[in-house]
Amino acid sequence: MEEVPEDRRNKMVYLTDEGLSKAREIMDRIHSCEISAMKQLTPEERETLLTLTKTYIQSYSQAMADSLE
C-alpha cells in the first residue's frame, strides 16, 4: 500500500500475483452467473431491465451530486 502523493488521504493497494489470480477467478464466476441470469430473461425483459437500470443510475448519480452541494 502506498499513499497517493497528490492526496495523502487516498491509498493505492496492489494485489499479489496470488491475489490477482483469485480476483480473476471470482470475476470470471460473477461474469458467468450474469450471463446465465440474463439468458433466463426474454429480450423484452432484458431491455426493460437495462432501461430501468440506466434510469436508476442517473437518478442515483444526481442524488449523490445534490448531497455534496
With beta carbons less than 8 A apart as the criterion, state whether 11 and 3 touch: yes
User: Rounded distance, CA 56 to CA 63, Å?
Assistant: 10
User: What domain count does the chain have?
Assistant: 1
d(CA 35, CA 42): 13
pLDDT recorded at residue 1: 84
Q: What is the pLDDT of residue 8?
A: 83
5-46 pLDDT, tens digit per residue, is 888 889 999 999 999 999 999 999 999 999 999 999 999 999
Q: How far apart (Å, rounded) are the C-alpha atoms in residues 19 and 57?
A: 30
Distance in angstroms (rounded) separating the CA atoms of residues 25 and 44:
31
Q: Which domain holds residue 45?
A: 2-67
